[in-house]
Amino acid sequence: MIDLRSDTLTRPTDAMREAMARAEVGDDVYGEDPTVAALEERVAGMFGHEAALFAPTGSMANVLAVASVVSPGEEVLCESSAHIARAELGAHGAITGLTMRTWTRERGQVDLPAIEAMHAPDMGPFFVRTAAVSVENTHNFAGGTVLPIEDLRALRAWAGDNDTKVHLDGARLWNAHVATGTPLADYGRIADVLAVCLSKGLGAPIGSLMVGSADAVAEARVRRKRMGGGMRQVGVLAAAGAYALDHHVERLADDHANARLLGESLGLDPDDVDTNIVVVQRPDAMAFVERAATEGVRIAAVGPRTVRLVTHLDVSRSDAERAAVVLSRLAAP
Ligand SMILES: Cc1ncc(COP(=O)(O)O)c(C=O)c1O
């Protein structure tokens, strides 16, 4: 089976497991796990922020990050197929008590005029106050699309002038960085708070970080514990993430090349495949997924007419080539 359902499916490599086994550990709730502390400091520095907090999942990192800039009863604006709106199972409403309004734009892009039109400043008892705008880079359900840094800078400038914070869901920000060459610190500069994942294309078995100011991270540390996310000797997990940062960032370019090949096999212009995710419209999404599985290629239906393929560490070039042959045959009219 060639498994293209998600880049979360990767298994830790032998070398990563060795790094995990060697990790120095302590009780992280006591602030005594040196491997976690080193990873947090390293990742904060990569984005030019003061601090970071290790979290078990990207969803928790997003909840902590958004809650650091949006209070209960306030709203966050985001694109309508954003992961925080679609796939975190209402966590931001259920846990933080915020509301969301969305704009819709092709390829999940920032739409500043729409944001300006929706933005509601503090109007006392009349409207929900817009506290933050959230952007997702790369954008998962839009097909791993990159948000151009110029658009993010324009959003940052507008947000600064309008007393509004920017949250960046950077679960796959590494992919955007490798695809565009934009330094991670430039992405860090456009956001008040970020969430990044080590467990997607980077291949760690678990681990995400919220990144932001020292005060925001100190508050998030309390919230994380309240949510049951205070973890103990998790240096073994942080070591996997550190290993992934050392060894698995630059190779994302291979995943991007494989995704372009797969996109082409399904009739897309390869130039429209920005990173490691391919999203195609198929009227028969479920049946297409089932037919592909019987031919040894697992892909996912992410909507009744939408199919998604994701390349990753455990998909080699020859796997991608074999999958492309199968998929182009199945997709042929
Ligand atoms: C863009 C984006 N943000 C956040 C997450 C959440 O990560 P997790 O599955 O670790 O909760 C995902 C998961 O795929 C994602 O694609």
Tens of pLDDT, residues 296-315: 999 999 999 999 999 999 99
Say how far apart CA 124 and CA 181 lie, in whole Å.
Answer: 44
Say how far apart CA 150 and CA 78 lie, in whole Å.
Answer: 18
List beta partners, residue 148: none
Judge whether residue 142 has pLDDT over 90.
Answer: yes
Determine the pLDDT at residue 12. 98
Say how far apart CA 264 and CA 271 lie, in whole Å.
Answer: 9
199 touches ligand 1 (CB under 6 Å): yes
For the record, the structure tokens of 293 come out as: 């599985």
Tens of pLDDT, residues 175-196: 999 999 999 999 999 999 999 9
SS3 4: coil
Determine the pLDDT at residue 289. 97
SS3 333: coil
58 touches ligand 1 (CB under 6 Å): yes
Ligand 1 centre to CA of 156 (Å) is 23
Tens of pLDDT, residues 165-175: 999 999 999 99
What is the best residue among 9, 63, 83, 175 to mutate for testing ligand 1's pocket, by most ligand atoms within 8 Å of CB? Answer: 83
57 CA closest ligand 1 atom index: 10
Question: Which residues lie closer than 8 Å to 266 by C-beta, 6 or more apart?
Answer: 278, 280, 307, 309, 327, 328, 331
Tens of pLDDT, residues 44-94: 999 999 999 999 999 999 999 999 999 999 999 999 999 999 999 999 999
197 touches ligand 1 (CB under 6 Å): yes
Mean pLDDT of 94-112: 98
Going by alpha carbons, the residue nearest to atom 7 of ligand 1 is: 58
Determine the pLDDT at residue 198. 98
Say how far apart CA 203 and CA 212 lie, in whole Å.
Answer: 24
Mean pLDDT of 100-105: 98
Determine the pLDDT at residue 327. 97
What is the best residue among 136, 174, 200, 279 to mutate for testing ligand 1's pocket, by most ligand atoms within 8 Å of CB? Answer: 200
Which of 278, 302, 299 is closest to 290 using CA atoms?
A: 299
175 touches ligand 1 (CB under 6 Å): no
Say how far apart CA 124 and CA 142 lie, in whole Å.
Answer: 36
Q: What is the mean pLDDT of the chain?
A: 98
57 touches ligand 1 (CB under 6 Å): yes
Determine the pLDDT at residue 333. 82
Judge whether residue 148 has pLDDT over 90.
Answer: yes
CA angle 325, 137, 179 (to 5 degrees): 55
List beta partners, residue 310: 277
CB 174 within 8 Å of CB 201 = yes
- Which residue type is seen at 317? R
Distances (CA, A) of 233 to 34, 35, 110: 10, 9, 39
